[in-house]
């Protein structure tokens, strides 16, 4: 692994980014697709009259079948992900952007022993749950760098090898099976061109 990929010691994001791009066990595929449709409909229905923002938000529904139900442990995922992306233990999500180092956002989330694997704020995979079982896996892909996206794809495929999984992307309003190579190719292209 090059120094570039081992450089980050902390990831700090805005809380609105949390869980917008997720992996779920394939058993939850129908629930995930239904929630994505509801989110897309809510976005259209709640668009502010002036076109800037929304008058109400859709709360993402957690599917009944999560990774804990599938028996996925942190130890299994750690072994699969560390050869691909380094673990970054310090993880911060804050409600506002203006907090200086050492000043805690009272609405923020601070972890010093997170199961987060990545490069920096632009590209990582985050595992959430109660030891020893993972409940949720989500990620961020705010980069067009091919090497970073290749690592992300490899990480997603590594999770799929442990528990067959689906992608749920609320930014791009799409979902699909990781094992569907055609979908995964198209999805990775969408990540590169999402601002177009």
Q: Is the pLDDT of residue 108 over 70?
A: no
Pairing verdict, β 21-25 and 165-169: antiparallel
pLDDT at 32: 87
pLDDT at 96: 65
Residue 144 corresponds to which tokens in the numbers above?
A: 């067009």
Report the predicted TM-score, pTM, of the whole model to 2 decimal places. Answer: 0.83
Q: Is the pLDDT of residue 92 over 80?
A: yes
Query: Domain extents for the chain?
Result: 3-192
Q: Is the pLDDT of residue 15 over 70?
A: no
Q: Which residues pair with 168 in a beta bridge?
A: 22, 175
pLDDT at 36: 77
Residue 2's pLDDT band, with cuts at 50, 70 and 90, is very low
Give dist(CA 122, CA 188) in Å, integer: 15
Q: For residue range 43-80, what is the model confidence (pLDDT) as tens digits? A: 565 565 776 665 656 567 788 899 999 999 999 999 99
Q: For residue range 153-188, what is the model confidence (pLDDT) as tens digits? A: 999 999 999 999 999 998 998 999 999 999 999 999
Q: CA quadruple 16, 131, 28, 168: dihedral positive or negative? A: positive
Query: What is the three-class DSSP state of 145?
Result: coil
pLDDT at 8: 76
């Amino acid at each position: 692994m090059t120094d570039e990929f081992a450089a980050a010691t902390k990831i700090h994001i805005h809380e609105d980014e949390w869980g917008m791009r997720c992996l779920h066990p394939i058993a939850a595929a129908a629930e995930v697709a239904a929630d994505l449709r509801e989110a897309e409909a809510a976005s259209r229905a709640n668009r502010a009259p002036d076109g800037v923002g929304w008058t109400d938000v859709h709360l993402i529904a957690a599917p009944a079948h999560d990774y804990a139900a599938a028996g996925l442990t942190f130890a299994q995922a750690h072994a699969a992900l560390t050869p691909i992306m380094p673990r970054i233990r310090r993880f911060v999500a804050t409600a506002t952007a203006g907090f200086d180092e050492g000043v805690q956002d009272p609405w923020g989330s601070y972890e010093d022993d997170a199961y987060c694997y990545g490069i920096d704020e632009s590209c990582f995979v985050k595992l959430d749950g109660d030891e020893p079982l993972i409940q949720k896996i989500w990620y961020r892909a705010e980069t067009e760098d091919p090497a970073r996206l290749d690592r992300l794809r490899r990480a997603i495929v590594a999770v799929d090898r442990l528990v067959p999984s689906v992608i749920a992307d609320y930014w791009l309003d799409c979902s699909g099976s990781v094992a569907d190579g055609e979908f995964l190719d198209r999805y990775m292209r969408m990540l590169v061109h999402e601002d177009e």
